[in-house]
Structure 1
């Protein structure tokens, strides 16, 4: 039996690779509980004898479509308290020591993009789309993305994603360094597993040590950045533009913003 964490996260070992699956289809919207369960699962992989790399994959149409702002019951979208709790889990995820390969199909949007950037590598299907669409909601980016995205793709490309909210195709993401491999959807999980096995065949203490050097103070930097992001989000959440942004995204139309 695969160990499970909460309702929607399971772990299966494939040799020295832990395959961690989020199973909350079709869109795997983030919630505090889901991110806590995922952090619990990955911390267990850190502590497991024999676990040397992890694949992070998701069931359904999307890898993770972010917060469900169209749902009044969504713990993240409904208030800033939920966002505070979410960012606590984000810091836990960035503190994981095991190298992670994400298998990305469909959308990785908003906090879902933030989750994809927790991983060391991203293998994507051609249909994958990456978007920091916060400005379309009248909101400020979060989940540490204002630190992690420029670190990965450079400041100018991060500016383009943040200020336009556009969706970046997998092939463009490959050219930018946002994606490491693009493979057909039917080969996605196998390709992610192959990359994770390539990592896992190396000396585990050396891999962990090298990764720590390369990542530096990433978890602490994410913690500091989410504090600033939360402050800005609190201000913007009180605006008319935020209310219009949520409506317009739910109604699949351009926002009619007033700057108030």
Structure 2
């Protein structure tokens, strides 16, 4: 797993990589948070591009090796380090543009929603497939997604687990711009430079007004999400959902 930062003028380009699917675990989220904080503290940085290496943006949480529900949450009501780290990403003061190729699934969708804007390709797929796992959404998605696409469309995504392709994401406002794969990073960087061309104090002030209490909202929501995930994780439907996804078949759920 690597998180690196390069500079393009007043833009910090934060790249994460965890081959082959860029699954998110605590170390990855904390690494992105560290890079964001460093960019935030650098007065010469006025915008951030968040991107990943490989064919997918982020295929979800690393449930096999580092279950974010279980990690560090020894007792009911205890705050979860994975979600604590996720909520901190929403506290960053510098505008963020996400460059999304391929799949942004589950926690990957959550990472994309951290950004102020998302540039995507037609091959991008935005997926909140939690109910197909017999699970509850996490990463604050149950609160943040509707801010981007509206309550009805958020509900449609969350209650069906439907894949939203690049073109539909652009129609819904989930993607702010759709470009060919070879133009993706350039388009994300161009938007970041456009943001960075504004007066930096005014940009930060305006962004803070627009985002409001987003970090506090995510903190509250991830606490609720975790409580729901903890009891659902002990159900037969969750076990079946994990098996079904691994076996690439529809789940046979019983409500137990």
Q: TM-score, normalised by structure 1?
A: 0.94
Structure 1 ranges of 4+ moved more than 3 A: 77-80
Cα distance, 1:126–1:25 mapped onto 2, change above 3 Å: same
C-alpha offsets along residues 103-158 of structure 1, whole Å, 9 cap, x if unaligned? Answer: 00000000110110000000001100000000000000010011100111000000
SS at match of 2:98: strand
- Judge conservation of contact 1:62–1:108 (CA < 8 Å) in 2: yes
Correspondence 1:206 to 2:198: no
Report deviation, 1:237: 0.5
In structure 1, how many angstroms separate the alpha carbons of the residues matched to 2:19 and 2:121? 17
Corresponding residue to 2:121 among 106, 125, 128: 125
In the TM superposition, 1:145-156 aligns within 5 A as: 145-156=141-152
In the TM superposition, 1:213-232 aligns within 5 A as: 213-232=209-228
In structure 2, how many angstroms separate the alpha carbons of the residues matched to 1:75 and 1:242? 13
**RMSD of Structure 2 on Structure 1 (CA):** 1.3
Q: TM-score, normalised by structure 2?
A: 0.96
In structure 2, how many angstroms separate the alpha carbons of the residues matched to 1:238 and 1:75? 14
In structure 1, how many angstroms separate the alpha carbons of the residues matched to 2:128 and 2:208? 27
SS at match of 1:81: coil
Equivalenced residue count is 252
Residue ranges of structure 2 left out of the alignment (5+ in a row):
none
Stretch deviating more after TM superposition (19-28 or 209-218): 19-28
- Judge conservation of contact 1:127–1:170 (CA < 8 Å) in 2: yes
SS at match of 1:231: helix
Which residue of structure 2 aligns with residue 3 of structure 1?
Answer: none
Which residue of structure 2 aligns with residue 106 of structure 1?
Answer: 102
In structure 2, how many angstroms separate the alpha carbons of the residues matched to 1:254 and 1:57? 31
C-alpha offsets along residues 196-254 of structure 1, whole Å, 9 cap, x if unaligned? Answer: 00000110000000000000000001000111111111110110000000110111100
Which residue of structure 2 aligns with residue 4 of structure 1?
Answer: none
Correspondence 1:65 to 2:59: yes
SS at match of 1:191: helix
Report deviation, 1:68: 3.0
In structure 2, how many angstroms separate the alpha carbons of the residues matched to 1:245 and 1:59? 29
